[in-house]
Structure 1
Amino acid sequence: MFAYALAALFLVLFGIGVLRDRRRFSNAVYLGLAVVFLTLALLVLVDDTTGPAHPVLKWATVALLLVPVVGACALPFLLLSNGVKMIRREGRSPANLLSFLAGLGILGLVALLITAVASGSRTLAIAGVTLTLIVGYVSFLFFCFIAYAFLYGRLQPRKDLDYVVVLGCGLTGGDRVPPLLASRLERGRRIYESQRDRGKRPLLLVSGGKGSDEKLPESHAMAAYLTAKGVPAGDILLEDRSRTTEENLRYSAELMSAGPSPDYRCVIVTNNFHAFRAALTARATGVDGQVVGSPTAAYFWPSATLREFAAIFLAHRRVNLTVVGVLAALGIGAWLLS
């Protein structure tokens, strides 16, 4: 009953957090803790349930709990496969290697634990347990991120808008809109047109400056793409100074605040893998708007999601690195005392 009570408590905190502001990572953590304690409660149920319904309930619960176990066993091989596909299609940049390296890391940890058991080495055992605790902490946060990002992407933004903000990304060949950015622009255009159909007249604010390898600011290429699709030039507002997501949002907020209504209503468009981090950044920069995601090629999603999680993890590095440091220190202390 205690595990059920804790699961209910964190579920209530999650609900309150979402009602207060969807754009908080604490919401993701509350949801993760609710799932953890509910899982513990189900494990107790499997062990202790009695009565005529016990066999069916027991095996149904076991089957449910086996799903994440099977998924965890398959995960490193799926990551390796995706990593190979990313390298073939996108090249060997550090960002494109993330899923491959993550798969190797998981297999490396498993190999370390097996070697520690087989050799009977206390040093390897302590190292394996310490790394497992660190990986467990990071994996818990990653689970929280994935689960809440999935839910956040299905929450509906405001219906009446003054601005539809589309965040830029790198141009192909320095001057052409790539498929990733075209997906964002198409989602933004659909939202803009749905507002027009309802009698509203929002502005499409395209945000993106000129990178060192680009021939023109991203927002200029984005505006050209939209006008070619039939969007009137007068309905497009350009923000062409930004280099990062934070600058995208900060400079866009300046333009929106300087408009006819300082109390603007907006929605921000990016790719689905980037939506939750963009929402966290929007909250941090004071932008009054939710974020919606556009479709992304399936093969691109794992590496991109790992990159987004790494950015959020480091954005909260004071807490996260402290926890990792404490776990590492406990492992070192155990080794010194062994």
Structure 2
Amino acid sequence: MFAFAVAAVFLLLFGAGVLRDRRRFRNAVYLGLATTFLGVGLLAAIEDAPPGIAGTALILLLLVVALGPVALAALLCANGVKMIRKEGRRPANLLALLAGLGMFGVMALAAVAVVTHSRLLGAAVLTLLLLLGYVSFLFLCFVGYAALYRRMPVRREADYVVVLGAGLLGGRRVPPLLASRLERGRQAYEGLAERRGPDAPATAAVPAAPDPDPQGLGVAKARTPLPPLPPLLVTSGGQGPDEEVPESHAMADYLVDRGFPADRILREDRSRTTEENLRFSKVLMDAERPGAECVIVTNDFHAFRAALLARRTGVNGQVVGSPTAAYYWPSATIREFAAVFLTYRRVNLPICGALLLLGALVFVAAL
């Protein structure tokens, strides 16, 4: 019962965190802790289950613990090879393969430590398992909450749709990954524009301040509210060293060539990173409509990290994701998690240091 009570507390913290601001990594940790303690509670409850059910559950658990890491490492290696064949040997494309090989390496080291009864190897394996346990827990929190975040409803009213850039093919052509973002951005724009109506003015009208009582009758005349402005779409991306044009220009041209109204596009062409995408887009939005709300569009694997950065940069917007090829997911997700892990390095690195120290103390105690 204690584990269930702790799980309920973390679930309440998770719910409160989402209501306050869904763009917080602590929400992912709360959800992960709630799930972990719920699992512990269910495992403890197996003792009270009928013998057949309890035995089956324990066998399944042992199979998952024993074979799960091997299967996962094999899948990562296979995906890594496919990623290299399709996308090339850039470092970012090697992450899934390196993760799978690393898992096999740790398992091999553990087997050698058991066979040789080496205390040094045993301490090294224990330290690695502690580090991997911590990092794996955060990774599962990240993946689980990112999947949930992508399914949360986005606001039905916004002034802007911001499409984040990506690299160009041949220096000027929009690749499929970026085209997916642009098509999702078009959908978001059309949904917002439809709700605001076709007769919304293109620019804000600034009426003169009327006399609240023009007839001198002591009755203020009601002001006529201005119709809402139509949304604008921001293409965000600067020019890389191997690109002939800024990404935002290629993105805007892609949309215009497919019938999107050119006068509803703003081009942010200075940014080099996702954080700069958001900061410089915010400058454009605030110049046109201060304090405006927006919908940010990127690929689905990138949505949660973009949301974390949007909160950090003060952008008033939620993030939606566009579809990505399945083979691209593992390496992209590992890359996104690594970036988030380092973003919170002031917390994560000291914890990793403490785990390393704990492993060293265990080794010294075993001498």
Q: TM-score, normalised by structure 2?
A: 0.87
- Residue 106 (structure 1) aligns with: 103
% identity of equivalent residues: 62
- Residue 252 (structure 1) aligns with: 281
2:59 and 2:253 map into 1 onto residues whose CA distance is: 53
Is this contact kept in 2: 1:95–1:303, CA < 8 A?
A: yes
Mapping of 1:23-62 within 5 angstroms? 23-46=23-46, 48-50=47-49, 54-55=50-51, 58=54, 62=58
Is this contact kept in 2: 1:45–1:58, CA < 8 A?
A: no
1:16 and 1:68 map into 2 onto residues whose CA distance is: 33
Aligned-residue CA RMSD in angstroms?
1.6
Shift of 1:62: 4.9
Shift of 1:60: 7.5
2:61 and 2:315 map into 1 onto residues whose CA distance is: 40
1:26-70 CA distance string (max 9 Å, x none): 000000001110111111011x215xxx35753675588579645
Which of 334, 349, 354 is the matching residue for 1:326? 354
- Residue 236 (structure 2) aligns with: 207
Q: Secondary structure of 1:287's match? A: coil
- Residue 123 (structure 1) aligns with: 120
Q: Does 2:202 align with 1:174?
A: no
Largest Rg, 1 or 2: 2
Mapping of 1:67-216 within 5 angstroms? 69=65, 71-200=68-197, 201-216=230-245
Shift of 1:333: 2.7
Q: Unmatched 5+ residue regions in structure 1?
A: none
Which of 256, 264, 270 is the matching residue for 1:241? 270
Shift of 1:197: 2.4
1:90 and 1:6 map into 2 onto residues whose CA distance is: 45
Cα distance change of structure 1 residues 28 and 138 upon mapping to structure 2, 3 Å threshold: same
Q: Secondary structure of 2:193's match? A: helix
1:15 and 1:255 map into 2 onto residues whose CA distance is: 34
Cα distance change of structure 1 residues 242 and 64 upon mapping to structure 2, 3 Å threshold: farther
Cα distance change of structure 1 residues 61 and 286 upon mapping to structure 2, 3 Å threshold: farther
- Residue 274 (structure 1) aligns with: 302
| Deviation >4 Å, runs of 4+ | 59-68
Q: TM-score, normalised by structure 1?
A: 0.95
Q: Secondary structure of 1:198's match? A: helix
Q: Does 2:231 align with 1:218?
A: no
Moved more, 230-239 or 323-332: 323-332
Mapping of 1:294-305 within 5 angstroms? 294-305=322-333
1:111 and 1:72 map into 2 onto residues whose CA distance is: 12
How many matched pairs?
333
1:63 and 1:32 map into 2 onto residues whose CA distance is: 24
1:265 maps to amino acid: E
Shift of 1:199: 3.0
Cα distance change of structure 1 residues 230 and 60 upon mapping to structure 2, 3 Å threshold: farther
Is this contact kept in 1: 2:70–2:104, CA < 8 A?
A: no
Is this contact kept in 1: 2:3–2:37, CA < 8 A?
A: yes
Q: Does 2:9 align with 1:9?
A: yes
- Residue 314 (structure 2) aligns with: 286
Q: Unmatched 5+ residue regions in structure 2?
A: 198-229
2:172 maps to amino acid: D
1:286-318 CA distance string (max 9 Å, x none): 000000000001001100000000000001111
1:165 and 1:59 map into 2 onto residues whose CA distance is: 53
1:329 and 1:132 map into 2 onto residues whose CA distance is: 13
